[in-house]
Structures are given as structure tokens and as C-alpha cells.
Amino acid sequence: MKLFMLHSLGRQGSMARYFAVSLFLVVLAFFCCPSSADPANVPQTRIHVYFGQYTTDNMGDTLNILKADYEKNYLLAAAHSRDFLELGYGIQLGIEFGVAVRFGENWTGELWGGVVIRPKGFTSREGITIAPAFTIGLSAISKSMGEEIKREIGRGGNASFLFYLGPEIAFTFPGLRRWELVYRLHHRSGAGGALGGLYEGYNANTLGLRYRF
């Protein structure tokens, strides 16, 4: 038992160090990578604040917003992103790092960093721009909660350090071109057991505002 505990602590320490290095590289890229995005057309920097509620469902079922099985666990998050590369066809590549307070049954924290793929989207006749985006990276938490704990017990895994996925849809309205109303699925995943010995991690439907500059 003692050896198992030491092994687990060592694994968590390695995960924490790996995440810290990954986050450092993301931040370094944020400040050092020259931007090839056209600043006249595409605001390069975004501040995103959002609130959400966790579910007991997997990622696919959580997307069914009206029928998802919601827990009494929530998150309040803030993310900072920057586009730094034009890939062509109106697609921007950027980076994001964020922090969240998770609360309900207990209080925990989350840090994540990742790469953002952001297509230009399209504009309706009414002047409303609808644009998807997808963030993929790494996520670390201070403590598990809710369905996360049940999945750890069920698979004998550890949700401390997992992959982060953030598919989203943003709406921009006429006269408010620097503001976006954003729906995001806040998803943590072990990617088939690749991290933490887990498949699903935790999912939340979120809604927030993002300012572009």
C-alpha cells in the first residue's frame, strides 16, 4: 500500500511538472510568436469570461443541452487567447490559457492551456456573424468533484491531469463587433485512457462573453 501511494504521488508530481512546462511553453509562444494575422480584419487578442454547469453525461450527450443530466456543480472561468498565424481560407491558429473556479459540492480549481483553431465563420443577412472554434490542450485540477470522482473510482484512474477540449460557437451582433456571445462545451478527457487511466473526465455546458481587441 505504501509503495502504491508513493507511486501515485510520484505520478501526480510528474503530471504537475509536465503541465507546468506545457503551460510555460504556451505562455512563451503567446509573447514571442510573431503574428501573421491581419490586425485590420481579425482582432488578435480575446478575453473570455463564462459560467457553466456540469453534467453526469459523456461529451456527446452533454451537447444535447436541453436533455443533459445536470449536477449541482458549476464553474466560473476566464480565458485569454491570441491568434498568431493565418492558415488560409479564413482559418486562424492561436493559443489560449485559462483558469476556472469549480464549486458546488466542494471548491476546486482548474488551469488549462492549448491551441485554438478558429475559422472565420459566416455572416447572416441580418449582420450576425456565427463562428465556430476548437481548443485542444491540457488541463490540471486541484481536486476532483462530482461525476469526476465516480469515474475515477469506476476505472481506478486519476483526473488530476487530463486533455482539454473546448468546442464552441460564437455570435457577433451588428454594432457590437468586438463582443461575442459564446457557447462552449468545457470538456476534460483521458482520451481512451491515455491520461489518468480515464476515458471521460468531466463535461459542462457554458455560456459567456468574449471581448476582442
Note the pLDDT of residue 83: 93
pLDDT top residue among 34 and 68: 68
Note the pLDDT of residue 33: 44
- Identify the three-state secondary structure at position 176: coil
Q: Report whether pLDDT(78) > 70.
A: yes
User: For residues 56 and 62, is the Cβ–Cβ distance under 8 A?
Assistant: no
* Residue of 156, 188, 189, 193 whose CA lies nearest to 7: 156
pLDDT 10s digits, 104-147: 999 999 999 999 999 989 999 999 999 999 999 999 999 999 99
**Amino acid (one-letter) located at 122:** F
- Strands 179-189, 108-118: pairing is unpaired
- Reading the block at residue 12, the C-alpha cell is 501526480
**Whole-prediction pTM value?**
0.80
Note the pLDDT of residue 42: 52
- Reading the block at residue 187, the C-alpha cell is 470538456
CATH value at residue 112: 2.40.160.20
Q: pLDDT averaged over the chain? A: 85
At 88, the pLDDT band (50, 70, 90 cuts) reads confident
Note the pLDDT of residue 44: 81
Q: Which domain holds residue 173?
A: 2-212
Question: What are the Cα distances from residue 69, in Å, to 47, 128, 201?
Answer: 29, 31, 15
- Reading the block at residue 114, the C-alpha cell is 492549448
Total count of domains within the chain: 1
